[in-house]
Amino acid sequence: MLELTELLHGLDLQKTVSTELSALSPQSWPFSLDWLPHSAFLVGGSVRDALLGRPSEYLDLDFVLPDGVVETARSIARHYKAGFVLLDAERQIARVVFAQGTVDFAQQVGPTLEDDLRRRDFTVNAIAYNPRLDRFVDPLQGCTDLENRVLRMVSPANLEEDPLRLLRAYRQAAQLGFSLEAETQAVIRTLAPSLLRIAAERIQSELNYLLSTEKGTPWLAQAWQDGLLHHWLPDATAQSLELVAAIDRTMILLQETQPVFAQWLLSQNRTTATEQLDTASCQRSQNREQKGSGSARNWLITAKLACLMANDAATAESQLRQLKYSRTEIQSVSTVLRFCPQLCAAITEACLTESEATSQAGTLNWALRDQYFFFQGVGAIFPAVAVLALASGVPLSAIAPLIERFLNPTDPVAHPTPLVTGQDLMVNLQLPAGPLIGRLLAAIQLARAEGNICTPEEAIQLAATLVNEWKLE
């Protein structure tokens, strides 16, 4: 075992580690070190990230104990009035949930701590730290790989034992900014077919992370090239993966030119487009997304998924169901696949003139009636449709007027609100309930979107006129 200064001697890592602020310091924990037995070791990602100096707002600690796991966890939870979850009674794994983080306790696998570490996925995750003794155990030279920023397998057998580790290698390389060691990558390619043994939900979680960040895009492409995703993304091609990269480049442009809309794209999916569209709410959603894992959804993931699916909605829905996406997520991707081509075609036919394109807001030569029906169809999915259209080559100047409409919660085209209700029509025009009322309300909404009416009185008058006209049909 080595002390911290001995372990990091001569390494640049020593410059980044602050034990007073990192997960290695009991001062940062939500419980006292006194509750841990002397045999407890901190292991896994928390040790790795502390050595790399990677900050984390949410504390996530993993301890390995040779015995007394459940008793230790339950005692801590009881004393601090924290949540307690027995994750696996047979393997003795328990979790204590605090407001500021989670702490997992697991039974040591094997007769010694080193045996346990040698069963892990990658060397950088096989470093243990004893906070009482201020000692590290690093039997596989994980710190050297941290210094060299290399992700190296512990053994092929460990990867084969849990094939999800194959895909996790690309996610961790993206997260850490590491390269994948050549022999490790060769073994992953060989073992790629074993991913079929893994539950689709677990595949989806890793895939979502790679889709959620610009850093994940090249590793998503590499995972596809190495044969890990062909079963799950059978219609993905080199061209569709390039389109995913184009979405990342588009996001950079939007962050510079349309920052509020860019924040909206990074926020969690919402069910309606008429929620308050202010910067603060978008930022709060973005912060929640960044704190979560790849399992949280945003419109950027939706747009990227649409790139990787079959072009026809029915086949795409089948592929997404296989990956265990929710009904809402599947409908979102299907909407993108349906309406993005429609938007691109409409922009091509009704593009901006040169003078309009250089004006401050721009004026889209697309009939308000058609814009209204487009927004009615696309709804809250507009951000994903827009970013994919932009990545596909539609100029920002052409879509900017639509973005402005979407970001304005009172816009009558993108977010129409009723001037009158069905009850108003029945009372004022003495009409019975029935399909006619719905038809009239739709006509009123369209007339308002086109700017032909703007008051309830005008809406009632229009309805009366339409009733008389339709009687003559």
Beta strand pairing call for 101-107 and 59-65:
parallel
Mean pLDDT, residues 54-58: 83
119 and 30, same structural domain? yes
Beta strand pairing call for 83-88 and 93-98:
antiparallel
| CA–CA gap between residue 45 and residue 19 (Å, rounded) | 15
59 and 11, same structural domain? yes
State phi, psi for 2 to the nearest 5 degrees: -125, 145
**Alpha helices, DSSP H only, in 41-117?**
45-52, 69-80, 113-117
Residue 206 has pLDDT above 60, yes or no: yes
198 and 135, same structural domain? no
18 and 136, same structural domain? yes
Task: Please report, as a single letter, which amino acid is at residue 397.
Answer: S
441 and 393, same structural domain? no
Task: Name the residue range of residue 37's domain.
Answer: 2-146
DSSP 433: S
Q: For residue 385, what are its two tokens?
A: 């449709």
Which of 146, 167, 198 lies at the terminal end of a domain, its last residue? 146
Lowest mean pLDDT among 44-48, 277-281, 349-353: 277-281
389 and 267, same structural domain? yes
Q: Which helix (H) or strand (E) holds 191?
A: helix 182-191
pLDDT recorded at residue 23: 86
Total domains in the fold of the chain: 4
Share of the chain above pLDDT 70, in %: 86
370 and 247, same structural domain? yes
160 and 137, same structural domain? no
327 and 394, same structural domain? yes
Q: Share the mean pLDDT of the chain.
A: 87
323 and 312, same structural domain? yes
| CA–CA gap between residue 169 and residue 179 (Å, rounded) | 10
Lowest mean pLDDT among 181-185, 289-293, 394-398: 289-293
Residue 232 has pLDDT above 90, yes or no: yes
| CA–CA gap between residue 99 and residue 94 (Å, rounded) | 17
CA distances from 111 to 118, 173, 202, 348 (A): 12, 31, 30, 68
Nearest to 422 by CA among 442, 396, 449, 407: 442
**CATH assignment at residue 200:** 1.10.110.30
Mean pLDDT, residues 265-282: 49
Q: pLDDT tens for residues 71-110?
A: 999 999 999 999 999 999 999 999 999 998 999 999 999 9
45 contacts 60 by C-beta, under 8 angstroms: yes
Residue 130 β-bridge partners: 135
Task: State the CB neighbour count (10 A cutoff) for residue 258.
Answer: 20
Residue 358 has pLDDT above 70, yes or no: no
Lowest mean pLDDT among 60-69, 357-366, 380-389: 357-366
447 and 436, same structural domain? yes
Which of 205, 229, 253 lies at the terminal end of a domain, its last residue? 229
pLDDT band at 269 (very low <50, low <70, confident <90, very high): low
The 3-state DSSP class for residue 63 equals strand
**CATH assignment at residue 27:** 3.30.460.10
Residue 59 β-bridge partners: 101
210 contacts 294 by C-beta, under 8 angstroms: yes
Q: Rounded to an integer, what is the distance from CA 405 to the centroid of its chain?
A: 25
21 contacts 57 by C-beta, under 8 angstroms: no
| CA–CA gap between residue 13 and residue 8 (Å, rounded) | 6
Which of 170, 197, 229 lies at the terminal end of a domain, its last residue? 229
316 and 245, same structural domain? yes
pLDDT recorded at residue 224: 98
